[in-house]
Chain A
Amino acid sequence: MAVSSSSFLSTTSLTNSKSNISFASSVSPSLRSVVFRSTIPATSHRRSMTVRSKIREIFMPALSSTMTEGKIVSWIKTEGEKLAKGESVVVVESDKADMDVETFYDGYLAAIVVGEGETAPVGAAIGLLAETEAEIEEAKTKAASKSSSSVVEAVIPSPPPVTSSPSPAIAQPAPVTAVADGPRKTVATPYAKKLAKQHKVDIGSIAGTGPFGRITASDVETAAGIAPSKSSVAPPSPPPTPVAAKATTTTTNLPPLLPDSSIVPFTAMQSAVSKNMIESLSVPTFRVGYPVNTDALDALYEKVKPKGVTMTALLAKAAGMALAQHPVVNASCKDGKSFSYNANINIAVAVAINGGLITPVLQDADKLDLYLLSQKWKELVGKARSKQLQPHEYNSGTFTLSNLGMFGVDRFDAILPPGQGAIMAVGASKPTVVADKDGFFSVKNTMLVNVTADHRIVYGADLAAFLQTFAKIIENPDSLTL
């Protein structure tokens, strides 16, 4: 079996029969600690809550980059038992391994929310930790309500808001190949089911296009808005037939390789990008450019920079706020027959990483405050560089931001990623001579932004209005800090 043995986690001989041995090669030891979050309801002042919290939730940790849920193998500690920092509390089984999970805090295991043998999604509360013995009872009552409330807490993608436009929810006719005898149940292939779970797609909502109307992996990938991954198996090479001959003629048309040139096969990421780019050709796009005065923004940036705010966060926040006023630019058209307004404004930001390109997503960019957004962004970039982004952290974008300003590029044109309504290309902000309406010249920092949009759903006036709003926000950036 092919194995990534980057971590030499268990180079020691595992002779202790009671130890939980990990065979997960991709798990790094640093991930082995419990994630804690305070259970005190978040108030408007988020800083105060960490101080007051005495009862902490123990969360299902992400033990591997592909882990979406974990199973509790066993609780090492029982309810009411005292815990010391660094002690193992619970054994969790991920998709790859059984791992001991340790506590970061001293305290008491007040309540077990998820019992042995049960599964919980990554990030869900599996137990409660009380700081003092006195709080155990309080925690227990909390646990009783927790088990139900945590379910509610789970982010369930809400359906797009129904607009006044004619309902697009007309059931598509079933594929003709299927013999329609009564209500048919959903048939999905094993890999399709796996992908749906991984990408949190409701398999019941997908129309199958495979043989006999079954849902295949590519149906799920389409529904999840991601490029079909490179098929892991090249199809059996076809026997030499006229069909194959056609394929070979196209290849022979290619100019021969120059001497000394080398062929480098695509990596998975490059294949995905390539596939996406080809797919983008089927979308009719147009572009609208707009100059934006950034003097006020630059001044604001200088002020908030020491607090850890990045330019990316500022731009994402501004775009998010503008999108909130122009939902059509945040919409997406997936099948060419209808379009959906996205409930969340998720700004994907293009990042060049070693040998590739990835778009970590700032979710709810319009709602989060600038500081949180900046913090989130740093976290995402870190994950992107270490290739630990979860799928929802790079494929849930509804609008993309691409900034090449730092290279001195003054304007450029971006390709619209499939499944999104628009992408914004941001150039450098440069001192520019401008004339105002009274004819006075002045030098102002000006940045050119250029938005590429899907003309099936976004029209010129929509985009122009959006850009105007965006420019206003940038030119009067006080609203960004609210």
Chain B
Amino acid sequence: MALSFSQTSFTRPNHVLGSTGSVFSTPRSLRFCGLRREAFGFSPSNQLALRSDRIRIPSRKSFQVFASASSNGNGAPPKSFDYDLIIIGAGVGGHGAALHAVEKGLKTAIIEGDVVGGTCVNRGCVPSKALLAVSGRMRELQNEHHMKSFGLQVSAAGYDRQGVADHANNLATKIRNNLTNSMKALGVDILTGFGSVLGPQKVKYGKDNIITAKDIIIATGSVPFVPKGIEVDGKTVITSDHALKLESVPDWIAIVGSGYIGLEFSDVYTALGSEVTFIEALDQLMPGFDPEISKLAQRVLINPRKIDYHTGVFASKITPAKDGKPVLIELIDAKTKEPKDTLEVDAALIATGRAPFTNGLGLENVNVVTQRGFIPVDERMRVIDGNGTLVPNLYCIGDANGKLMLAHAASAQGISVVEQVSGRDHVLNHLSIPAACFTHPEISMVGLTEPQAKEKGEKEGFKVSVVKTSFKANTKALAENEGEGIAKMIYRPDNGEILGVHIFGLHAADLIHEASNAIALGTRIQDIKLAVHAHPTLSEVLDELFKAAKVESHATTRTVSEKVVV
């Protein structure tokens, strides 16, 4: 995934971390995609078999039975609804919720006013991964020194822009079809049209179709945020929506915002031959990353590439190229608002974050007031109305609530809601949700950054320790000639709790999950350090961290070794 959307010029309500949340919410203003179970989608017949096996529903006809059983179990009033659950928005969040709802035996409908898959699949994480796959290979093939160190000889690498663009588009289409098929095969009704809330448990979609449901999930997502004064023409001044179509590769492109989206696109554009100028409102590039990681990342991803940057400035006005003039960007000082500079470039990509897409949802019908467009929710994703009370049976997940703008976070929130409506209380731990940026090499993280952890430790009176390891110490990384990278873990030496893990290096995005799972399951370092990693693999980078950590308490679970014996 990862179109990520770090928003630096726009803050977000912060429910994530309580008091330390303000530090935290800015970094996490990202949007990533993690498609849930799309693997099942490749072969519908196979998938149906798997699914039915798992949920013991051989065909759609038996849904009703299960649904009512479930409702009764919930103690719901014996009122008849068209559906148990209606989800507005068929993005990755809605899709994740729908699949889990079916698993729980709920009769489910999903409403989509545009295309199934939402931002992630169509205009975000998925197509951007296709472009980044190309950029990674271009970068490698162009690096003569790198090739030579393998003993490989490659003559000049080139690319066909349309071919690259087609790859991204084909991938989006394929994933979209997988998503659609997976829902259809399970019996989720896909209703086409724009959905809105008419009143409690009542939804309108399309022109005048009205349906009812016991519970409603709003999962309408977000759109690129374009600050005032910037004129987007879709050709020379563009957002990520346009950039992913790769209709042109400009000689020189300015990228406004150096968060995840900006970074990933800088990776793509520089690999394809563009020069890049970053415009960042904060005083340093890559705000939101652990400072040590962003320092190293800047050394590897920015300094040696054809990239320069202006920090501490806003792009107050951007005029598209016309009448034989280039794109003009007026920069003002972020603090004093004094004019600072004017840039003339061939194109500008606006990557200043994402704004919630919540207009026209009929929220006034249930007395809900958005905050900067975001729908206020509690920690169980229950929507809060203008008086601060909970709206019954109405939930909001994903970018629309702004808690953590990542595709996989939306999906996780959706699953959490389904757990609740099917009778099991569940609160999602947002600190265990990993995030990744798919540059070359990749950056990934979970939990707190070092400064955040130290602040928390000071407040709550515990000691914070840090261990680090280099990819240069990893055999597999050296075999790949990719020794550039670092992994660090922030933890409590007194009890072995993992507070945060940050990785910059080869396949960092895949490596983070050992840490995020440990955080989610509450696994302590003294236990996980006894787990075995295959040699030689990149996973030993994390093994190295666990083993290097100095924890005062000893391993708690003897059961682990007993289980292994079986």
- A positions within 8 Å CB-CB of B: 1-6, 8-15, 17, 21, 23, 25, 95-97, 177, 179, 185, 187, 189-191, 193-194, 210-212, 214, 217, 230-237, 263-265, 267-268
Contact = CB atoms under 8 A, between A and B. Distances in A.
B472 interface: yes
Interface centre among A1, A6, A25, A189 (most CB of B within 10 A): A1
Interface stretch (B22-30, B272-280, B516-524): B272-280
Contacts of B527: none
Contact of A268 (B144, B273, B276, B346): B144
B137 to A, nearest CB: 12
A264 B544 CA distance: 42
A3 B484 CA distance: 6
B344 A214 contact: yes
Nearest to B482: A3
Contact of B308 (A1, A194, A210, A231): A194
B486 interface: yes
A96 B142 CA distance: 20
Given A17-B467, A187-B344, A236 B158 contact: yes
A5 B483 contact: yes
Contact of B273 (A11, A17, A193, A233): A233
Nearest to A184: B344
Given A212-B344, A265-B154, A3 B142 contact: no
A15 B484 CA distance: 17
Given A233-B272, A265-B154, A15 B483 contact: no
What is the interface of chain A mostly: helix, strand, loop, or mixed?
loop
B431 interface: no
Contacts of B177: none
Interface in B280-302: 296, 299-301
B235 interface: no
Given A21-B486, A190-B306, A232 B273 contact: yes
B300 A234 contact: no
Contacts of A268: 144
A2 B440 CA distance: 9
Contacts of B142: 232-233
Nearest to B341: A185
Interface centre among B153, B481, B484 (most CB of A within 10 A): B484
15 contacts: A2-B481, A4-B146, A8-B472, A12-B473, A13-B548, A14-B468, A14-B470, A15-B467, A179-B324, A190-B306, A212-B326, A233-B138, A236-B249, A264-B153, A265-B155
B158 A235 contact: yes
Nearest to B466: A17
Contacts of A263: 155
Nearest to A16: B468
A236 B161 contact: yes
Contacts of A12: 473
B467 A25 contact: no
B166 interface: no
A17 B300 CA distance: 21
Contacts of B484: 1, 3, 5, 23, 25
A9 B251 CA distance: 37
What is the interface of chain B mostly: helix, strand, loop, or mixed?
mixed
B184 interface: no
A3 B469 contact: no
Nearest to A188: B308
Contacts of A190: 252, 275-277, 306-308
A15 B472 contact: no
A25 B156 CA distance: 25
Contact of A193 (B138, B251, B308): B308
Contacts of B146: 2-4
B174 interface: no
B466 A23 contact: no
B37 interface: no
Given A190-B308, A236-B161, A5 B472 contact: yes
A63 B138 CA distance: 29
Interface centre among A179, A190, A214, A268 (most CB of B within 10 A): A190
A23 B470 contact: yes
Interface string B36-70: 00000000000000000000000000000000000
Nearest to B301: A1
B251 A211 contact: yes
Contacts of B468: 14-15, 17, 21
A267 B548 CA distance: 43
Contacts of A232: 142, 273
Contact of B472 (A23, A193, A211, A235): A23
B359 interface: no
B145 to A, nearest CB: 6
Interface centre among A2, A13, A25 (most CB of B within 10 A): A2
Given A190-B276, A233-B138, A265-B154, A13 B160 contact: no
B306 A191 contact: yes
B303 A21 contact: no
B252 A189 contact: yes
Contact of B159 (A3, A11, A193, A236): A236
A42 B488 CA distance: 50
- For the complex of A and B, list the 10 residue pairs with the smallest distance between their C-beta atoms, beginning with the closest: A2-B146, A233-B273, A234-B158, A190-B308, A2-B143, A191-B306, A5-B483, A15-B548, A265-B155, A3-B484
B325 interface: yes
A1 B300 contact: yes
B441 interface: yes
Interface centre among B154, B275, B467 (most CB of A within 10 A): B275
Interface in B469-495: 469-470, 472-473, 478, 481-486
B157 interface: yes
A267 to B, nearest CB: 7
B158 A25 contact: no
Contacts of A211: 251, 326, 346
B284 to A, nearest CB: 13
B469 A13 contact: yes
A88 to B, nearest CB: 19
B266 to A, nearest CB: 11
Contacts of A23: 296, 299-300, 470, 472, 484-486
